[in-house]
Amino acid sequence: MATDKRNLYIGGNWVDAANGAEFPVYSPATGTVWSSVADASRADTQAAIDAAREAFPAWSSTPHSRRARIIHKVGDILEARAKELHEILVDEGGSWIGKGMFETYYSSGVFRAAAAAAYQVNGEMLPSEYGKVSLVVREPLGVVSVISPWNFPMILSSRGFAPALAVGNCVVLKPSEETPVAGGLVFAEMLEEAGVPPGVFNVVTCSRDNVAEVGDELISNPAVQGISFTGSTAVGRQVAAQAGGLLKKCCAELGGKDALIVLADADIERAVNAATFGSFMHNGQICMSVERVIVDSSIADEFTSKFVANTSKLNVGDPHELGNCIGPLINRKQLDKIRGQVDDAVTHGAQILCGGGNDGLFFEPTVLGNVNRDMRIFKEETFGPVAPVIVADGVDDAVDIANDSDYGLSAGIITRNEEQGLAVAGRLRTGMAHVNDCSVHDEPHVPFGGIGASGLGRHGGRQGIDTFTETRWITLERGGRQYPPPFLMNPG
């Protein structure tokens, strides 16, 4: 069911775009218009940044306990609205209802962790040769721009802005044009209800046509001191380069080509379950999805046959139904990219072991065999329900295959030998690695992020606090430091 037309949230007010423009949001499952949303321009973005800048002095000086209570209350409101939010995630973003349930539950935890972060903005006292009081303090940046994606809109938006707010920043959020309601406007409603002061949190939504100018303003505006970006590597490079040129802090969580390494001594059932979930949860539309299943040659045949059998049981259909864990892709662009990679792999010798077809945006869960490093499916991020199986000759070969990527987000290692698993994890060039689990894993309080083409900086944990604060050194002189006599009024 379509929602009413939705406006921007600027300075505590719900407002139309300055020029009155709006754009349609389509439901991936039905292809019909689900909502109409205000289409912000650069002028609207400037107004939102101005509102955040004006609100910053009061918000940053608000006691941390007060900020924490407001952020914690958002988690309460989110839980109270959970059923409604599940439906929004399904209708607007094509999420399987089970994924929607998980996402709302997890997002409430993001606010709990963020509220705790308000109490953890710690400094330190350093020794001083001159007897000074020498302090290192952490202070909020000021205005932080948050640009979030469509695949997990509630989690990835809240991860970007909740800790930033908790430590005293003011925020302008731009959610994806694919999920502007779930990724942005519902949060404005909840923060308003929780009592956040006007201007502390602002949301600008825009169509793909206006993304370039709105995004540029969110980065280049002099009042913006920090940028949190989650999205594709191609766009993330541009964001980070522009932010770096302006000497602004930027945390960019980008794409992945994550590996699941199944070693010779692996528990096959554990490995198959990890590969199935990691490859096909949310149709593989997760930055840390398993996109390369690397299996030791000694167990490759057994693993692959059982993996194909398990994958073939996954139901494709209406994502409102709990039994249909494979729903629609987000849009035609994603479908065309996935189809192109699969066709290229087959042309170069890969075998489709199951799946491979599609009905509109509903793409069957697909397992590919005989995959090698020369195929696009090995190198490029897929972001879809396709699992390439690559056979490795021993541990060293498996590690070499896994590290043969520009990306470095997450990884999984399946082995009965925990010591070996930790050793392999230590050899992988990734920001995260999980022994006896797949690459898809996160918790609200941990440092999340990658290396290489998977981004820079970290969201979550103490590292996330560092991301949204600045370090300052402050001293108090108590008479111990003497200047050279020529500089003194009375040399003595």
| pLDDT of amino acid 452 | 96
Among the options 22, 92, 177, 253, which is catalytic?
Answer: 253
Residue 1 has pLDDT above 60, yes or no: no
Which class is 8-254+454-475 in CATH?
A: alpha beta
Residue 124 has what pLDDT? 96
486: phi then psi, degrees, rounded to nearest 5: -60, -20
d(C-alpha 358, C-alpha 387), whole Å: 15
Percentage of residues in the chain having pLDDT higher than 70: 99
pLDDT tens digits for 2-25? 557 899 999 999 999 999 999 999
- Residue pair 166/121 in contact (Cβ under 8 Å)? The answer is no
For 294-350, write each residue's pLDDT tens digit: 999 999 999 999 999 999 999 999 999 999 999 999 999 999 999 999 999 999 999
Beta bridge partners of 456: 252
Kindly report the backbone phi and psi dihedral angles of residue 412, in degrees, each rounded to the nearest multiple of 5, phi listed first: -130, 145
CB 37 within 8 A of CB 23: yes
Question: Which regions of 114-256 does DSSP assign to beta strands (E)?
Answer: 124-126, 133-140, 143-147, 170-174, 201-203, 224-230, 249-253
Topology match between the domains 8-254+454-475 and 258-435: no
Q: Please state the rounded mean pLDDT for residues 357-371.
A: 98
pLDDT of residue 132: 95
Domain locations in the chain? 8-254+454-475, 258-435
Q: What one-character-per-residue DSSP string does 55-123 give? A: HHHHHHTS-HHHHHHHHHHHHHHHHHTHHHHHHHHHHHH---HHHHHHHHHHHHHHHHHHHHHTT----
The tokens of 85 are what? 């939010």
For residue 263, what are the CA distances in angstroms to 186, 268, 294, 308, 456?
A: 44, 10, 8, 18, 30
- Answer whether 172's CB lies under 8 Å from 145's CB: yes
Residue 348 backbone dihedrals phi, psi, to 5 degrees: -100, 20
pLDDT at residue 3, as a whole number: 59
Using alpha carbons, list the distances in angstroms from residue 85 to 89, 104, 108, 254: 6, 7, 12, 25
Predicted pLDDT at 2: 52
- Is the pLDDT confidence value at 101 over 80? yes
Quick: pLDDT tens for 260-287. Answer: 999 999 999 999 999 999 999 999 999 9
**Strand order across the 469-476 sheet:** 124-126, 133-140, 469-476
User: 63 CB contacts (<8 Å, ≥6 apart)?
Assistant: none
Closest CA to 387 of 206, 262, 259: 259
To the nearest 10 degrees (0 to 180), the angle between helices 64-80 and 82-93 is: 70
Which tokens hold the place of 167? 């430590």
What is the distance between the alpha carbons of residues 286 and 409, in angstroms, rounded to a whole number?
Answer: 11
Q: Tell me phi and psi for residue 36, to 5 degrees.
A: -125, 135
Q: What is the pLDDT of residue 4?
A: 77
Contact of 183 with 148, CB cutoff 8 Å:
yes
Q: What are the tens digits of pLDDT across the range 211-235?
A: 999 999 999 999 999 999 999 999 9
Q: What type of residue sits at position 377?
A: I
Asked if 290 contacts 402 with a C-beta cutoff of 8 angstroms, the reply is no
- pLDDT exceeds cutoff 80 at 483: yes
Closest by CA position to 263, among listed 416, 422, 368: 416
Q: What is the 3-state secondary structure (H, E, C) of 195-212?
A: CCCCCCEEECCCCHHHHH
Task: Judge whether 321 counts as a catalytic residue.
Answer: no
For the beta carbon of residue 1, count every other beta carbon within 10 angstroms.
6
* Mean pLDDT (whole number) for 126-131: 94
Angle, CA of 257, 258 and 264, to the nearest 5°: 135
The answer to whether residue 253 is catalytic is yes
> Of 170, 206, 287, 438, which residue is the catalytic one?
287
Residues with Cβ < 8 Å from 430, sequence gap 6 or more? 258, 408, 409, 410, 411, 450, 451, 454
pLDDT (average), residues 92-106:
97
pLDDT tens digits, one per residue of 366-393: 999 999 999 999 999 999 999 999 999 9
- What are the tens digits of pLDDT across the range 64-81? 999 999 999 999 999 999
Reported as a single tens digit per residue, the pLDDT across 430-444 is 999 999 999 999 999
* 258-435, CATH topology level: Aldehyde Dehydrogenase; Chain A, domain 2 (3.40.309)
Q: What does the CA dihedral 240, 238, 427, 440 come to, rounded to 10 degrees?
A: 90
